[in-house]
Amino acid sequence: MQIFGIGIDIVETERIAKSIERFGDRFLDRVYTQAERAYCDKMKFPERYYAARFAAKEAISKTFGTGINHQVGWKDMEVLRRESGEPYVVLSGGAKAFAEENGITEVKISLSHADHYAAANAVACQGS
């Protein structure tokens, strides 16, 4: 397995909370999938979980070297959770097309969040 790229991002939890407060569903629907929203909304402090997923999507886009743009959109990267608690990524749309074009077979992520910040790192891997 070879590394295509790595990415890291940190987000202030309050920034995400303010976006949710100000823009509500318009913000949430633009950035998060229904599965992500369902997971975050059931938590005691949903803004922490939203912030971690926001950071993950930024980190993933950095592994590709594209950033979030017309080619790779927010909802083209879905951050889900295995029963074990491990987060994982499902790519679709432009992100999936980019991964396939570049031989990326897996994107590994790690998330962390606390009261004020959420962080994520990502590694895009080529090969098996």
Q: Give the count of beta carbons closer than 10 Å to the beta carbon of residue 18.
A: 13
Reply yes or no on whether 75 is catalytic: no
Q: How far apart are CA 64 and CA 93, in angstroms?
A: 14
Nearest-CA neighbor of 123 among 93, 94, 87? 87
Q: Please pick, among 42, 62, 75, 108, the residue that the annotation labels catalytic.
A: 62
Residue type at 26?
A: R
Q: Please pick, among 44, 57, 96, 113, the residue that the annotation labels catalytic.
A: 113
Q: Check if the beta carbon of residue 27 is closer than 8 Å to that of residue 19.
A: yes
Q: How far apart are CA 112 and CA 13, in angstroms?
A: 11
- What token pair was written down for 57? 């999507």
Reply yes or no on whether 44 is catalytic: no
H or E stretch covering 59: helix 46-64
- Give the catalytic positions in this structure: 62, 113
